[in-house]
């Protein structure tokens, strides 16, 4: 296993190594755990830049020799995997906003039209950013994670949320039909084709990492590289940690768990069963809980975990229990339907109830990735434990590089911004125009 270690060792690094539990060679791990929060930038190290000068000269010769050919973006990996980690004294912030190149919609079937925007440079390196949730929607701030002078940045709302809600719909419930991981994968490929992009960098956070990996499992030849933050693989152990009746998050926040779960019918033995009970109530089929109250409890639980900080929370594997639900009494009069304001909560619990609509583990296909994968993960993340990222790094092998920060789940924690912006800048340095 190849490890990137600074000259002045970090106290937390041996523990990070022991937690990987893997022996796959040439995985690059970096850790910032011993650095003070106020000086994170001092210890962040700039990787992946060896061979850049030689690659630039090579590209210049190639452009001269092939001046008649159409430009094409290609990914290039550094040749020396043992670069010395360089220290920087300045924390990176978001890039300044670039130009909005275009906005548009793309019909993708079942009454959905994807709303998208392009930012940055029209002839820049194509990159698409996949928002979280499912159902969180995109914002223009996400474009600032990328250098607008180097990238052609694509943002879009995934089907069923934001400006991509089903045409004519007024309720959250109307977004569920024909809304699965594989519908999103098809939408993403349709968007790439629509925008006349040959290959692109795929980036995302939280649920967006799961979607990115699912997309690459089907279309890896269309991926130049990946930058992921807060890796989520939708494995049973991750779901049990998140909302299982005996999962890890429950023990981290017992009071919040009681508020979240006290209304649930007895006998639920798995996270999908918990989510399915919430979904049944959210769809107005449980007389004991209104849709708005059920979705409010789900949002409150997610928000609590989002703000919680716990050093390197652990996953513990247990076989997923039965997700069949006990019978409940329906409402005597119909509950008011949940509005589209509730779509993120409803889509999230819907996907948890269906275990992400995944039949195979995403780690299996990740072993075949032949592009650079850079990951940023907060060690204090209580929604997506850092073990997820270590497992993915070990599966991918020498093409993967992982930076563990002292942050939590949020993309907008200063340390996560710093690390993510560095990663996108470094991916840009590895992408060469050949003519």
The active-site residue out of 138, 206, 270, 292 is 206
pLDDT digits (tens, 9 = 90+) for 307-360: 999 989 988 765 555 667 878 888 877 888 878 788 999 999 999 999 999 989
The active-site residue out of 147, 187, 286, 381 is 381
Tell me the whole-structure pTM to 2 decimals: 0.81
HSE-CB for 111 with a 13 A CA cutoff: 13
Surface-to-core class of residue 266, CB atoms within 10 Å of its CB (0-12 exposed, 13-18 middle, 19+ buried): exposed
Q: Is the pLDDT of residue 67 over 50?
A: no
Angle between helix axes 181-194 and 207-219 (nearest 10 degrees) is 70
What are the chain's domains?
A: 1-234+361-435 (3.40.50.1820), 237-357 (no CATH)
pLDDT digits (tens, 9 = 90+) for 100-123: 999 999 999 999 999 999 999 999
Q: What's the rounded mean pLDDT across residues 395-421?
A: 95
Catalytic residue check, 286: no
Catalytic residue check, 409: yes
Contact indicator for 47, 87 with CB cutoff of 8 Å: no
H helix or E strand, kind and range, residue 165: none
DSSP string, 185-228: HHHHHHHHHHTT-SSEEEEEEEHHHHHHHHHHHHHGGGEEEEEE
CA diameter of the chain: 77
Catalytic residue check, 381: yes
Exposure string of 193-229, with b = 16+ CB inside 10 Å and e = fewer, is: eebebebbbbbbbbbbbbbbbbbbbeebebbbbbbbb
The active-site residue out of 138, 409, 418, 425 is 409
């Amino acid at each position: 296993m190849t490890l990137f270690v600074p000259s002045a060792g970090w106290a937390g690094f041996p523990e990070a190594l022991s937690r990987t539990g893997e022996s796959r060679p040439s995985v690059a791990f970096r850790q910032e755990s011993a650095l003070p929060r106020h000086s994170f930038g001092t210890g962040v190290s700039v990787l992946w830049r060896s061979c850049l000068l030689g690659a630039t000269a090579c590209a210049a010769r190639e452009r001269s020799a092939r001046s008649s050919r159409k430009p094409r973006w290609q990914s290039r990996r550094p040749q020396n995997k043992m670069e010395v980690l360089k220290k920087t004294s300045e924390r990176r912030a978001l890039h300044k906003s670039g130009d909005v190149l275009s906005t548009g919609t793309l019909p993708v079937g079942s009454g959905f039209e994807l709303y998208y925007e392009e930012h940055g440079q029209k002839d820049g390196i194509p990159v698409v950013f996949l928002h979280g949730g499912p159902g969180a929607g995109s914002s223009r701030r996400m474009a600032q994670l990328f250098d607008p002078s180097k990238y052609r940045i694509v943002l879009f709302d995934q089907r069923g949320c934001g400006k991509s809600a089903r045409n004519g719909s007024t309720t959250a419930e109307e977004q569920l039909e024909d809304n699965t991981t594989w519908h999103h994968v098809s939408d993403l490929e349709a968007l790439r084709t629509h925008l006349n992009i040959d290959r692109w960098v795929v980036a995302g956070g939280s649920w967006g990492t799961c979607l990115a990996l699912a997309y690459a499992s089907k279309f890896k030849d269309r991926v130049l590289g990946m930058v992921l933050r807060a890796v989520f693989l939708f494995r049973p152990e991750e779901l049990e940690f998140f909302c299982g009746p005996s999962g890890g998050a429950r023990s981290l926040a017992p009071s919040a768990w009681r508020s979240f779960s006290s209304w649930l019918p007895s006998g639920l033995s798995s996270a999908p069963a918990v989510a399915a009970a919430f979904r049944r109530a959210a769809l107005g089929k449980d007389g004991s809980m209104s849709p708005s109250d059920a979705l409010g409890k789900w949002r409150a639980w997610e928000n609590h975990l989002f703000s919680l900080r716990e050093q390197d929370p652990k996953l513990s594997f247990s076989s997923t229990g039965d997700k069949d639900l006990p019978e409940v009494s329906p409402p005597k009069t119909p509950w008011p339907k949940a509005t589209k304001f509730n779509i993120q909560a409803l889509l999230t619990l819907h996907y948890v109830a269906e275990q992400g609509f995944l039949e195979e583990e995403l780690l299996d296909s990740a072993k075949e990735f032949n592009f650079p994968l850079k990951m940023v993960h907060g060690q204090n993340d209580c929604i997506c434990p850092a073990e997820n990222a270590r497992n993915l790094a070990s599966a991918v092998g020498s093409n993967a590089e992982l930076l563990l920060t002292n942050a939590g789940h949020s993309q907008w924690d200063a340390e996560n911004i710093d690390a993510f912006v560095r990663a996108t800048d470094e991916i840009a340095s590895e992408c060469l125009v050949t003519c």
